[in-house]
Amino acid sequence: MSYEKHAWWKEAVIYQIYPRSFADSNGDGIGDLNGITAHLDYLAKLGIDVIWLSPIYQSPNDDNGYDISDYRSIMAEFGTMEDFDRLLAEAHRRHIRIVMDLVVNHTSDEHPWFIESRKSKDNPYRDYYIWKEPTETGAAPNHWESCFSGSAWQYDALTGQYYLHCFSRKQPDLNWENPKVREEVFDLMDFWCRKGIDGFRMDVISMISKDQSFPDGPLNADGYSDMFSHVCNGPRVHEYLQEMNRRVLSNYDLLTVGEAAGVTVEEAKKYANSEGTELGMVFHFEHTDGAANSEPVLGKWTCTPPKLSYVRKILNKWQLELEGKAWGSLYWDNHDQPRVVSRFGNDSPKWRVKSAKMLATVLHMQKGTPYIYQGEEIGMTNRHFSSIDDCVDIEEKNAWQQLVVEQKLIAGETLLKCFDCVGRDNARTPMQWDDTANAGFTDGEPWLAVNPNYPAINVKAALADKQSVFYYYQRLIELRHTLPIVVYGRFEPLLEDSEEIYAYRRILGEQVLIVEANWTGREVACPLFADNSWEELISNYEVHKAGFLQPYEARVVWKSRG
């Protein structure tokens, strides 16, 4: 049976670890590398093939490691390079690969390159970053808004210029137009490849080429203009990635996934093209950015869960458009997203397990490489924020300062409710290992409060319950490892107008696999696509009702047409 071009990462299931919140081995309340090593057997039991580590490099942690001050050393709080070498060796011994998070759109302002760059206009490192003169009135070069609120430009009095930071002011953007910057990046990538890592997740890689005219645009109600169309998928981004591929990636057998803010399907066909001249795959954000907010100034801050038709239209489009042209990634959760069972499912005690399994089925039976975020496999949920003091994420704190305190564009309790629904801290509460103090995450004081529902939702309870979300994910992973149709089968949508059922077919040669999932908490009539001759592969119900799907019921059946 001929499949498209084989690659190990097309058949793999990836598990993302946010090290700060995974497991603390030394009682300082902060997760660390030795904590991960101590839990590798758990991940081997789940059956995952790859661990994607969120950044573990030296960082002042303005953005929890996404602000790097030394790419070649391990963050002191996470451990030492010896701890990393041990983690890598222990993971490989269990046939688990390690993918690092490459953050090279920007560095920390405490990186030696930036410390030099800001010293003078003629410093050799000046052009490692993006510096511009003020306007005649002394204002910033344009009205671009940072992803973390406020101006994307920071004035530096020492040399009387502004520098660009698409994220926090402590995350100055690197100037990729400068061939020396590209050289430095390729060199640090090679350093980690020579250590034996197995790939990179590339942070906001779609933003490394900016429109060099830095054009301004119409102002939003908050007085700033959107920068995304001028910094995403820029004029030289594919040139840079093809150079990166030639200089580094093509020398190793790596998984590469680009976190591509603003990527469209058309652009994805370039970033993740089947000829392998750039990256293996990309993350898009169309389904997680959610329905556009009715209040533009609120941007992502909303509590309205996207309707099934909205989510299905997007996921089906990506399935159909990439077919045979590029490889895709599949995810609901990561360290920037709310917990999927709270955002798209139902995290009430009655329906949490059923809806978590339904969501997992919808995603993991699709074509592409699936990503599981720590805790998703046991159905961890969002937590409740009772005050802004509960929040530690820079994106949330800056939004509060601008929208509530300075501009008074939204009431505090309204924005706090939005943090409950979509704030990034939801994904960063410590991993819930058992029902002992702090969910077994630490013997110390956790850096971020543990979700109070940990006594009921934790790994120990999940491993003791054969009907848990954990064993359901384990079975989904096993299906992907054993049935080529799950990896390589062509995707065909079904019931595209339903607001209740997500259904689709996968076809490989004579084999057909059908997925039916009730997205709602109500029993719904479901035209069966399969008679009793079909074999059931997995379901979150043991007993079915012919012609109906029970609340949040998901079923996968298959047969060979031969």
The residues carrying an active-site annotation are 203, 259
Cβ(106)–Cβ(167) below 8 Å = yes
**Which residues ranging from 199 to 228 are in contact with Ca ion (CB under 5 A)?**
none
In the shown chain, the binding pattern of residues 385 to 424 toward ligand TEU, with x for contact by CB under 6 A and - for none, equals: ----------x----------------------------x
According to CB under 6 A, which one of 66, 131, 271, 552 is a site residue for ligand TEU? 66
According to CB under 6 A, which one of 231, 261, 282, 341 is a site residue for ligand TEU? 261
According to CB under 6 A, which one of 13, 30, 204, 483 is a site residue for ligand TEU? 204
According to CB under 5 A, which one of 8, 11, 28, 521 is a site residue for Ca ion? 28
Question: How far, in whole angstroms, is CA 55 from its chain's centroid?
Answer: 13
| Residue among 249, 199, 197 nearest 92 (CA) | 197
435 is a contact residue toward Ca ion (CB under 5 A): no
Question: How far, in whole angstroms, is CA 101 from its chain's centroid?
Answer: 11
CA-to-CA distance for 389 and 176, rounded, in angstroms? 37
Closest CB to Ca ion among residues 26, 474: 26
DSSP track, 71-114: EEEE-GGG--HHHHHHHHHHHHHTT-EEEEEE--SB--TTSHHH
- In the list Ca ion, ligand TEU, none, the entry touching 24 (Cβ below 5 to 8 angstroms by class) is Ca ion
Closest CB to ligand TEU among residues 150, 440: 150
- In the list ligand TEU, Ca ion, none, the entry touching 333 (Cβ below 5 to 8 angstroms by class) is none
CA-to-CA distance for 380 and 236, rounded, in angstroms? 40
- In the list Ca ion, ligand TEU, none, the entry touching 261 (Cβ below 5 to 8 angstroms by class) is ligand TEU
32 is a contact residue toward Ca ion (CB under 5 A): yes
CB 34, min distance to Ca ion, A: 8
Q: How far is CA 389 from CA 159, 299, 407, 412, 449, in A?
A: 36, 22, 19, 12, 11
According to CB under 5 A, which one of 24, 62, 267, 516 is a site residue for Ca ion? 24
Question: In terms of DSSP bridges, do strands 281-283 and 255-259 run parallel, antiparallel, or are they unpaired?
Answer: parallel
CA-to-CA distance for 227 and 82, rounded, in angstroms? 41
Tell me the two tokens of residue 240.
Answer: 């840079």
Closest CB to ligand TEU among residues 167, 433: 167
CB 424, min distance to ligand TEU, A: 6
Which residues make beta-bridge pairs with 292? none
103 is a contact residue toward ligand TEU (CB under 6 A): yes
Question: In terms of DSSP bridges, do strands 161-164 and 57-58 run parallel, antiparallel, or are they unpaired?
Answer: unpaired
333 is a contact residue toward ligand TEU (CB under 6 A): no
198 is a contact residue toward ligand TEU (CB under 6 A): no
CA-to-CA distance for 479 and 364, rounded, in angstroms? 9
**Which residues ranging from 125 to 154 are in contact with ligand TEU (CB under 6 A)?**
147
Kindly report the number of other CB atoms within 10 A of residue 359's CB atom: 26
Tell me the two tokens of residue 255.
Answer: 């998984």
Closest CB to ligand TEU among residues 332, 470: 332
203 is a contact residue toward ligand TEU (CB under 6 A): yes
Q: Which residues bind Ca ion (CB under 5 A)?
A: 24, 26, 28, 30, 32
Q: Which residues bind ligand TEU (CB under 6 A)?
A: 63, 66, 103, 147, 167, 203-204, 259, 261, 300, 335-336, 395, 424
